[in-house]
């Protein structure tokens, strides 16, 4: 069974006044000049999952400037049971809302239908950026496997921010204890979700194919085996230190994702740009295999400028592995020649520049 987007409609989104696009379940190659609007299409699709999309923008940023505030993205998806229509958008108040089959839904609930993974050029530096970027990368993969992970992270962050505020203001110790209990409950669930995802990814890399196997583990003082009661005690005892620092210094928000190139036994941060890209692709493909194993369907992949660091042989290997995983992958590139190795296994769509934005087969 394949999860696949079959129809995409954009209204007043980024460079598109309107776009109606019909595709089938095969891979999709979007080609065109830089600035033509290829990434805007991938970004629109990424908003069918929880979060701020692949550019991590705010809802107000999505509106087409020439048309003022307000935008919408809707898509028809084939799923294991029946086709599902998802919609998300914002009106004049710029507040993002969502619908599923014309019924009100939450943005967080979209992840139970649209399992999405993406790679963008911005992620090429994830191994050399700060720990927050790597946690975000892992949380996106965890969310694809555990749709409730987004809500867990939201609840943890909310309790942590409120505790930070009370520590600064000298709030009621009983309320602090209640917030620390919430942080402990959701923090342990957050860490265990990440551990589950990492185990699934590492297992799925046994069939790594043409891309290098990555070793990955969470590092830091917080252990996913910690019980909620133990974390609550740690937070209680750390109040003076955290009050002085102005933030919580204990918990899964302080963990880091350590990735190594297994064959070279080298940290990913020390690898070449091309090797880092290959490791990222390896992890994404492993995530897709893990999802297929756990749910019976591969996710939809959004791969922006994916061929930038790969030669012809590596590109051909990538297309073959995506086909073997059974994922509908949306890929962008400046030249049609980058996707020649896809043969008849893909749809090729040309994206043209211009104020209206247009896509032709």
Positions of E strands within the chain? 4-13, 16-22, 27-31, 71-78, 84-90, 96-100, 103-105, 116-119, 214-219, 256-261, 266-267, 300-303, 329-333, 346-352, 358-360
Question: Is residue 53 helix, strand or coil?
Answer: coil
From first to last of its 361 residues, the chain has per-residue pLDDT tens of 579 999 999 999 999 999 999 999 999 999 999 999 999 999 999 999 999 999 999 888 898 876 667 899 999 999 988 899 999 999 888 899 999 999 999 998 998 899 999 999 999 999 999 999 999 999 999 999 999 999 999 999 999 999 999 999 988 999 999 999 999 999 999 999 999 999 999 999 876 678 999 999 999 878 778 899 999 999 999 999 999 999 999 999 999 999 999 999 999 999 999 999 999 999 999 999 999 999 899 999 999 999 877 899 999 999 999 999 999 999 999 999 999 999 887 899 999 875 455 566 5
Cβ atoms within 10 Å, residue 293: 12
DSSP 95-109: -EEEEETTEEE-TGG
Task: Copy the structure tokens of residue 173.
Answer: 């110790």
The model's pTM: 0.92
In a domain, 187, yes or no: yes
Residue 116 main-chain phi, psi, to 5 deg: -125, 145
Show the domain range for 188: 129-271
pLDDT of residue 355: 45
Are 9 and 20 in contact, with CB atoms under 8 Å apart? yes
Q: Report CA Rg, the chain.
A: 21
Give the integer Cα–Cα distance in Å for 272 and 22.
Answer: 39
Are 136 and 118 in contact, with CB atoms under 8 Å apart? no
Are 78 and 41 in contact, with CB atoms under 8 Å apart? no
In a domain, 188, yes or no: yes
Please tell me the total count of domains within the chain. Answer: 1
In a domain, 158, yes or no: yes
In a domain, 147, yes or no: yes
Give the integer Cα–Cα distance in Å for 200 and 222.
Answer: 20
Are 219 and 189 in contact, with CB atoms under 8 Å apart? no
In a domain, 353, yes or no: no
Are 90 and 60 in contact, with CB atoms under 8 Å apart? yes
Q: What is the CATH number of the domain that holds 229?
A: 1.20.1050.90
Cβ atoms within 10 Å, residue 45: 23
Give the integer Cα–Cα distance in Å for 158 and 16.
Answer: 35
In a domain, 182, yes or no: yes
Give the integer Cα–Cα distance in Å for 307 and 290.
Answer: 23
In a domain, 115, yes or no: no
In a domain, 227, yes or no: yes
């Amino acid at each position: 069974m394949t999860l696949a987007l079959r129809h995409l409609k954009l209204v007043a989104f980024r460079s598109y006044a309107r776009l109606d696009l019909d595709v089938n379940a095969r891979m999709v190659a979007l080609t065109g000049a830089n600035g033509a609007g290829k990434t805007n299409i991938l970004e629109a699709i990424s908003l069918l999952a929880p979060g701020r999309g692949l550019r991590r923008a705010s809802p107000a940023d999505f509106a087409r400037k020439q048309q003022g505030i307000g935008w919408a993205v809707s898509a028809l998806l084939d799923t294991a049971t029946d086709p599902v229509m998802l919609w998300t958008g914002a009106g004049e108040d710029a507040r993002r809302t969502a619908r599923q089959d014309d019924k009100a839904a939450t943005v967080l609930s979209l992840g139970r239908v649209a399992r999405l993974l993406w790679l963008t050029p911005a992620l090429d530096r994830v191994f050399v950026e700060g720990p927050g970027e790597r946690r975000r990368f892992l949380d996106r993969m965890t969310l694809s496997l555990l749709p409730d992970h987004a809500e867990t992270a939201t609840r943890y962050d909310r309790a942590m921010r409120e505790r930070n505020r009370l520590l600064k203001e000298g709030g009621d110790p009983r309320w602090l204890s209640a917030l620390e209990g919430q942080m402990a409950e959701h923090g342990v669930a957050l860490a265990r979700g990440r551990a589950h995802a990492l185990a699934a990814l590492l297992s799925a890399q046994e069939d790594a194919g043409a891309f290098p196997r990555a070793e990955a583990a969470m590092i830091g003082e917080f252990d996913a085996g910690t019980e909620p009661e133990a974390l609550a005690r740690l937070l209680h005892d750390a109040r003076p230190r955290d009050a002085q620092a102005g933030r919580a210094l204990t918990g899964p928000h302080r963990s880091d994702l350590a990735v190594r190139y297994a064959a070279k036994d080298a940290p990913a941060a020390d690898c070449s740009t091309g090797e880092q890209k290959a490791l990222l692709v390896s992890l994404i493909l492993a995530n897709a295999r893990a999802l297929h194993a756990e749910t019976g369907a591969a996710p939809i992949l959004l791969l922006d400028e994916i061929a930038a660091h790969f030669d012809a042989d590596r590109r051909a290997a990538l297309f073959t592995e995506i086909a073997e995983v059974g994922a509908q992958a949306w890929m962008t590139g400046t030249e049609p020649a980058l996707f020649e190795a896809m043969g008849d296994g893909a749809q090729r769509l040309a994206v043209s520049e211009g104020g209206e934005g247009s896509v032709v087969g």
